[in-house]
Amino acid sequence: MSGCIFCSIVAGDIPADVVSSTEHTVSFRDIAPAAQVHVLVVPRDHHRDIASLAVADPAAAADLLAQARQVAGQEGFDDFRLVFNTGESAGQTVFHAHGHVLAGPELPAGAERHIDAASAQNGTT
Ligand code: 5GP
Ligand code: ZN
């Protein structure tokens, strides 16, 4: 989709540190990592969020989920967190579906920065 940053990354028009790619997905490092490993797994096709993707293209959604384990594993971690901010008030800022794969030796609670922001607003941090 024109004007979508993740479509531009998938097309190779904007550079990104790509760590894997499959028939349905491209995975690349987040530009502002919130953990030692912070990789975004995105479908090649444009869908505004993971819920829309799951309805429109279940095979791509399944591939995306499988890639989360693959990416964490190739980065050296069996355990990982997978976050899908879905909708603006939930912290989604890029409206092309993506999963945040977060992993590290001591992954803190709320390592994804939007969860941290929500916690701060609630006064829980
Ligand atoms: P959201 O807030 O929508 O859940 O996540 C969007 C993520 O995309 C953020 O963590 C942000 O750091 C990342 N991001 C935004 N623009 C770019 C970019 O141009 N390149 C990369 N690699 N990550 C980006
Ligand atoms: Zn897009």
CATH number of the domain within which 116 lies: 3.30.428.10
- Full DSSP string of 55-66: HH-HHHHHHHHH
- Pocket mutation for ligand 1, best pick of 14, 19, 94, 101 (most atoms within 8 Å of C-beta): 94
Domain count, the chain: 1
This prediction's pTM: 0.90
Cα distance between residue 99 and residue 86, in whole Å: 10
Name the active-site residue from 24, 47, 96, 98: 98
pLDDT in tens, 25-74: 999 999 999 999 999 999 999 999 999 999 999 999 999 999 999 999 99
> Is 98 a catalytic site residue?
yes
Give the distance, in angstroms, between the CA of residue 96 and the centroid of all CA atoms in the same chain: 10
Give the distance, in angstroms, between the CA of residue 81 and the centroid of all CA atoms in the same chain: 10
pLDDT in tens, 95-123: 999 999 999 987 877 655 544 444 444 44
**Domain encompassing residue 54:** 5-121
